[in-house]
Structure formats: structure tokens, C-alpha cells
Amino acid sequence: MLRFLTAGESHGPAEIAILEGIPAGMSLSVDDIQPDLEKRRGGLGRGGRGKIETDEVEILAGVRFGKTLGSPIALMVKNLDSENWKVKMSIGAKPNHLEGGLTWHVNTITNPRPGHADLSGSLKYNFDDIRNVIERASARETVMRVAIGAICKKFLTEFDIAISSQIIQIGKVQLSKSFDSKKIEEVILDATKRKDTLGGVIEIIAQNVPPGLGSYVQWDKRLDGKLAGSLMSIPSVKAVEIGDGIANASYLGSEVHDEIYYDKKRKFYRQTNRAGGIEGGVSNGEDIICRIYLKPLSTLGKPLNTVDIKTKKKTEALIERSDICVVPRAGVIAESMIAFVLADAFLEKFGGDSLSETKRNFAAYLRGL
């Protein structure tokens, strides 16, 4: 079983992650992780944070001489912008959140943004300063999900499983299958001028996934449920679709279900894939296709109305440094979550404490299909 935890605040010293369950003997280095972090860091619609952070990952544990040990893998990405959130203490000042001779900014924020975790988080944890919520609810946390996902992708490539994504919509603009950077730039620039934000739709495809991952025997073992849950956990994602799930609701069964064929070389296969590669909670050997629907970001240049959590009086929402549109870089985050779920399901099915053992188990399974 794979599992991971992340820790860190948006402007804390670092973002941390621990991944447990990757078999021993897999080649792994920073170079396997960094390219995906670069994809997440860049992209159109990016705010000022992307110009500050380098998102350079460090492997602190679980790897020796370029090979995984089977023990937990510890990762760290330092937050360079952390220093901008500290001020030197004046002589005679009382220490407040003292750290290394510096003190954190302590100006209290009480005007929550509609659409963000600001108010609900403050009510849940009894905070009188929504900064406590902002720092952890921030999408900055996804830098570690991408690092974890890159390791899971590396594992899956050992079995020829590949994961990719593409933008299919930004705002109300539908995009072609190819990445149309000019059209995306125009839409984002228009939103920037309006001091507004944009959401969109991203499609993620996992290719060469074998049949048999997941299970129908319990609700929490269904692969589509696990995928949907992981994708919904990404900040700004408000809906998930698998295959043609939304469109299929409008058609007859005879127009929807993927007919089954058999060939000695291809084995069981389909000529259509409206189910998105999953039937009854189990992968069926076709490409797994998911789509995520991202809402526009909550921080607006022309803020919406809100209520001060202390005075209970009407005010304007907080303007926090933010992106205009997260869609161009959200694809790699979604890929990472899918990679984690598929790698977990793969290891649950085929096991193995070492990569060579997992490969033997997988090869035996394929021979029996």
C-alpha cells in the first residue's frame, strides 16, 4: 500500500512530504522529479509567487546510491518567499512568534474571501485570524503532491504506463486537442484587465493501464471512486468526470456502453471508450480518462462582499497575492494524483517489496490473461 503525507505552510520555511510503499531497487534522483515541478511552477496566468520560488526538491531519505530502499522517501522544497514574511525585531520589542532572531508578520486578517476556506476553516478551528487558514489551505501544498506524483510516475513507467493531460476549456472558451497558447493568453489577459479570475476543464489520460486494478467488492476499493476522490482534493476542483459520464446521462444504454471484442494478440478490447477505462470500479484495459472542472480562483482584484469575522460588519474580501488562472499548470497536479492512485492500486494487485519482485508478479499475471 502506498501512502503519503505533506506538511508545511505557504510562507513557512519549507514544504515537506513523506511517501511510503515504493518498492526497493527503483532508480530515482532529483532529475526524475524536477521537470514536473517546473511544469507546476510556470504557465500562463501565474501570479508573482512563481517568479520568486525555484521549487528545487531535495531527497532527504529513502534513496541510496540512486536506488530506492523500500523505506519511506522524504522530500523537501524550501520556500524562498518565507524570508519576505519575516521582519527584524526592534530593540525592546516583545518576542512574538520568534524564530532565529526574526519574528513573523502578525497583522490579523479578518475579511474572508467567498469561495475559499477562509471562513469555514476559521470557524472549524476557532481562529480569529484567517492567516492561520490561508497558510495551509493554499495551493502551495500541491508542490509536494507533484513531487510525490513524479515518483509514482517513475514507478508506473517501469510497466509502460504513461499519464498525460491537456486543457480542453478555459472560461467559456473551448480549446482544440492541441495546446493553443495564443488563445489561452488572450483569455487570461482579458480576465487580468477585468481584475477577475478564470476556471476551466482539464482532461487526464492514463495509457496502457492493465485490466484488474481496483475492485467491485467494497465501495472504498472502487478505482473510479479513488480517482474521483483524489482529484476532488485538488484546490479549485469542484467536479470530476470519468469517461463520458456527463454526456452518457442523456443517452440510451444502447448508445453508451462499449461493446466487447476479442483478438488473440490484443486480447479483450473495445472500439469505443465511453466508460473511460473503468467498469464496476475495475480497470478494463482501455485508457483511463478523467476530466476535472476547476472553479475560478477566490482572490479577485475587485473583491466581493464579505463580513468581518470579528466585528460582523460588511466589508470587502481580502486581496491575497494570487494567480489569475491556475488551469495551465493544474494538469501536472492532476496527473500526480492519478499517478499516486494508480501506483497504489498496482501495488495492491501485484505486490512486491522490490521492483524485480513486482515485475515478476506482473509478468505472470499478463501471461494468464
Burial of 47 (0-12, 13-18, 19+ CB in 10 A): middle
Q: Residue 89 has what pLDDT?
A: 39
Q: Residue 29 has what pLDDT?
A: 98
Grid cell in block for residue 131:
492567516
Q: What span, in angstroms and rounded, lies between the C-alpha atoms of 349 and 208?
A: 16
Round the average pLDDT of the chain to a whole number and report it: 91
Q: Residue 88 has what pLDDT?
A: 45
Q: Residue 338 has what pLDDT?
A: 98
Q: pLDDT band at 83, cuts 50/70/90?
A: low
Domain ranges of the chain: 3-367
Q: Residue 93 has what pLDDT?
A: 43
Grid cell in block for residue 78:
524550501
Q: Of 32, 34, 33, 25, which is closest to residue 68 (Cα–Cα)? A: 25
Q: What span, in angstroms and rounded, lies between the C-alpha atoms of 163 and 161?
A: 7
Q: Residue 179 has what pLDDT?
A: 60
- Please, which contacts does 170-175 make with residues 24 or more away whose CB atoms are closer than 8 Å? 170/198, 170/199, 170/200, 170/325, 170/327, 171/198, 171/199, 171/200
pTM for this prediction: 0.92
341: DSSP letter? H
Q: Residue 92 has what pLDDT?
A: 43
154-170 pLDDT, tens digit per residue, is: 999 999 999 999 999 99
Read off the pLDDT of each residue in 42-61 and give the average, rounded to a whole number.
Answer: 78
| Dihedral-angle region of residue 265 (phi above 0 means left; psi in -120 to 50 means alpha; beta otherwise) | alpha
Q: Residue 46 has what pLDDT?
A: 63
Q: Residue 54 has what pLDDT?
A: 84
Read off the pLDDT of each residue in 342-354 and give the average, rounded to a whole number.
Answer: 98
Q: What span, in angstroms and rounded, lies between the C-alpha atoms of 34 and 55?
A: 8
Q: Residue 42 has what pLDDT?
A: 75
Q: Residue 49 has what pLDDT?
A: 63
Any residues with CB less than 8 A from the CB of 200 and at least 6 apart, and which? 167, 168, 169, 170, 171, 293, 294, 325, 327
Q: pLDDT band at 356, cuts 50/70/90?
A: very high
Q: Residue 184 has what pLDDT?
A: 85
Which element (helix H / strand E) includes 322?
none
User: Of 35-49, 158-172, 322-336, 337-351, which gets the smallest average pLDDT?
Assistant: 35-49
Q: Looking at domain 3-367, does it have CATH number 3.40.50.1110?
A: no
Residue 103 has pLDDT above 90, yes or no: no
Grid cell in block for residue 104:
513573523
Read off the pLDDT of each residue in 245-250 and give the average, rounded to a whole number.
Answer: 96
* CA distances in angstroms from 195 to 49, 143, 181, 192, listed in the order given: 18, 26, 21, 5
Read off the pLDDT of each residue in 101-129 and give the average, rounded to a whole number.
Answer: 85
* Residue-wise DSSP of 156-202: HHTTT-EEEEEEEEETTEE--SS--HHHHHHHHHHHHHTT--B-EEE
Q: Residue 312 has what pLDDT?
A: 96
Q: pLDDT band at 20, cuts 50/70/90?
A: very high
